[in-house]
């Protein structure tokens, strides 16, 4: 193994002195701004809204009850360190030795070559990896904890371990250290300026800037597929897109995105827009654009989202096209609404209004909902409900922080290093612009969703949920169904999505795509990325499905299109927005999507 001293030049003493004065000034300003913003925000009656203290006290008690296990764990750690010291010493003496532990090749925290080539930084990296591995193993092997407590401890331990990575600190990150010497500390001054701006933008909460927000504008260079808003309710606008083919499939296609995010994740750019691609395949595409609710909509319920959202959209599509049955896609929470609405329509005997149902990374059975369950215990729900009761909505910043914590190294710490330690501006990236354009949640709807779906998992149980006076049983649904999950999804784990195969009675196909909740869905054929798996059978266990599945290269979009085209009847002349009984209200993407929460 080669060794390399990191190429660091000595700083200009005068410039360094000036920058340290500026750093001290910015730091003082930062602390004062934060203190002012937090005045009156801490609830003395509930200092631990996450209920972490009780969880970690219980874990500590159970660990102390088995002293021999503690001794064994300590010896295991010392053996690991002894191996590291031996390996490091041999390397410092000029010998090639195998590392005690290797970083995951996909771990971008240690991508700088100094982490491998410089013996000191390599030692720091390996020491951290061994310690992180040991800590996480200890909390994962504590006996006697209930599942929710164990999951919470593992999740927040991982957050702590990620936060303590040497890459997050100036003196233990070779790239940052070099930048600091090269610029005489100018990077740290710029980093503090960036942090102060983010703190002020978030009104006291650190809203990390993930992309250049000035480089994008909805309707100008994102969400630009041509169409018209043809209907609207207080909760949504319905967009009908202009055709690009002379003939279109007779049966229209309605897309219902989640109201946690904006719909244009499916219409970022022409070359990765699922909406444009579906139009080009000959679909008459309609998309729901949800409102960004404020206090005036605080009492809107899950039932309202069904009636003023999906059902109103179905009515409008029928009016516009004359077709009584529609193919419907539900993305994430939009898919949960789709399943609930289908159950409600089945109870009324009107389920044929939906000719086929496609679920993009959507759960209706929340038993294996993953790390999001960490935030759904009784104590946290009560705290969240009290906050929503006061404000009328769940603040968009809270939702964004929750989702970012699921992938903290990618969506938090990488930007801390880039923006605050290296003092750089984030790269313009349309997907991260969309990710920053989050929405609020009405208190009534969100309370019902979190309790009935996540906490109690009632939607998947026969008769578990009642909507508008009708009891829902998803097991009675026989609508042709395709379920699309993604293998690395942190929000809707693929095994949780798969559970629906054991619920629906009709034809049900499951497709597993590569990558995660967003990239695995927004994967155009031209990109030739990720791949996907199919299996004609739906065994009871998800792992058994994957074990006998067939792997395919490229995008799953054509596979879905072949399936949906068979359920779309014949071809008819292309339908232009406003050409039917619905007259255009305004150009796409409409005004609802342009309302920003932050």
Query: DSSP letters along 96-148, please?
Result: ----SS---TT-GGG-STHHHHSHHHHHHHHHHHHHHHHHHHHHHT-SS--HH
Token digits for 373?
A: 């369950």
Token digits for 11?
A: 């700083």
Instruction: Tell me the β-bridge partners of 533.
Output: 512, 551
Helix, strand or coil, per DSSP, at residue 98: coil
Neighbours of 2 (CB within 10 A): 6
**Angstrom distance (rounded) from CA 197 to CA 26:** 11
Neighbours of 529 (CB within 10 A): 15
Query: DSSP letters along 367-398, please?
Result: TT-GGGGGG-SHHHHHHHHHHHHHHSEE-HHH
Whether residue 571 contacts residue 282, with contact meaning beta carbons closer than 8 Å, is answered with yes
Q: Could you confirm whether 332 is annotated as catalytic?
A: yes
Greatest distance between any 2 Cα atoms in the chain: 82
Neighbours of 94 (CB within 10 A): 8
Which phi-psi region, left, alpha or beta, contains residue 283 (left: φ > 0; alpha: ψ -120 to 50)? beta
**Angstrom distance (rounded) from CA 564 to CA 509:** 12
Please say whether the dihedral angle defined by the alpha carbons of residues 366, 372, 374 and 379, taken in this order, is positive or negative: negative
Catalytic residue, candidates 199, 332, 393, 459: 332
Q: Which helix (H) or strand (E) holds 571?
A: strand 571-573
Q: How far is CA 29 from the centre of its chain?
A: 33
**Residues designated as active site:** 332
């Amino acid at each position: 193994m080669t060794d390399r001293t990191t190429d660091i030049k000595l700083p200009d003493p005068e410039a360094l002195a000036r920058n340290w004065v500026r750093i001290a000034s910015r730091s003082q300003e930062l602390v004062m701004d934060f203190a002012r913003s937090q005045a009156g925000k801490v609830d003395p009656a509930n200092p631990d809204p996450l209920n972490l203290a009780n969880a970690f006290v219980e874990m500590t008690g159970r660990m102390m009850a088995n002293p021999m296990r503690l001794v064994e764990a300590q010896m295991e750690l010392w053996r690991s360190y002894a191996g590291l010291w031996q390996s490091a010493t041999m390397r410092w003496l000029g010998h090639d030795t195998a590392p005690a532990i290797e970083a995951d090749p996909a771990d971008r925290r240690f991508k700088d070559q100094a982490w491998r080539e410089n013996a000191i930084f390599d030692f720091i990296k390996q020491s951290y990896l061994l310690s992180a591995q040991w800590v996480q193993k200890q909390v994962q092997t504590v006996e006697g904890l209930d599942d929710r407590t164990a999951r919470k401890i593992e999740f927040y331990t991982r957050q702590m371990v990620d936060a303590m990575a040497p890459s997050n600190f100036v003196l233990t990150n070779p790239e940052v250290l070099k930048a600091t010497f090269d610029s005489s500390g100018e990077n740290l001054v710029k980093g503090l300026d960036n942090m102060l701006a983010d703190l002020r933008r978030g009104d006291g909460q650190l809203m990390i800037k993930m992309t250049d927000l000035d480089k994008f504008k909805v309707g100008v260079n994102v969400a630009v597929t041509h169409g018209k808003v043809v209907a609207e309710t207080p909760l949504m606008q319905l967009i009908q897109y202009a055709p690009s083919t002379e003939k279109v499939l007779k049966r229209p296609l309605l897309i219902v995105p989640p109201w946690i995010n904006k719909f244009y994740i499916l219409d970022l750019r022409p070359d990765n827009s699922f909406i444009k691609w579906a139009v080009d395949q000959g679909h008459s595409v309609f998309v729901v654009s949800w409102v960004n609710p404020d206090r005036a909509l605080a009492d809107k319920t899950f039932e309202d989202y069904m009636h003023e959202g999906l059902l109103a959209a179905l009515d409008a599509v029928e009016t516009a096209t004359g077709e009584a049955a529609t193919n419907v896609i539900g993305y994430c929470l939009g898919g949960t609404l789709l399943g609930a609405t289908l159950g409600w329509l089945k109870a009324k005997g009107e389920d044929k209004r939906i000719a086929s149902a496609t679920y993009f990374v959507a759960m209706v059975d929340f038993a294996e909902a993953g790390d999001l369950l960490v935030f759904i215990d009784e104590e946290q729900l009560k705290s969240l409900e009290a906050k929503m009761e006061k404000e009328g909505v769940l603040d968009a910043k809270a939702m964004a922080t929750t989702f970012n914590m699921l992938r903290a190294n990618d969506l938090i710490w990488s930007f801390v290093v880039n923006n605050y330690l290296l003092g750089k501006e984030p790269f313009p990236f349309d997907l991260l612009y969309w990710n920053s354009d989050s929405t609020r949640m009405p208190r009534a709807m969100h309370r019902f969703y979190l309790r009935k779906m996540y906490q109690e998992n009632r939607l998947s149980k026969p008769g578990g949920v009642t909507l508008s006076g009708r009891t829902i049983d998803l097991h009675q649904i026989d609508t042709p169904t395709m379920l699309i999950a993604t293998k690395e999804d942190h929000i809707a784990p693929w095994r949780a999505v798969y559970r629906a195969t054991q619920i629906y009675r009709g034809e049900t196909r499951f497709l597993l795509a590569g990558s995660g909740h967003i990239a695995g869905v927004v994967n155009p054929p031209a990109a030739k990325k990720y791949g996907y798996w199919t299996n004609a059978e739906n065994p009871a266990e998800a792992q058994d499905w994957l074990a006998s599945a067939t792997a395919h290269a490229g995008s799953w979009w054509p596979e879905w299109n072949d399936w949906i085209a068979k359920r779309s009847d014949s071809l008819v002349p292309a339908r232009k927005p406003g050409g039917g009984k619905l007259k255009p209200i305004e150009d796409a993407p409409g005004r609802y999507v342009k309302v920003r929460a932050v």
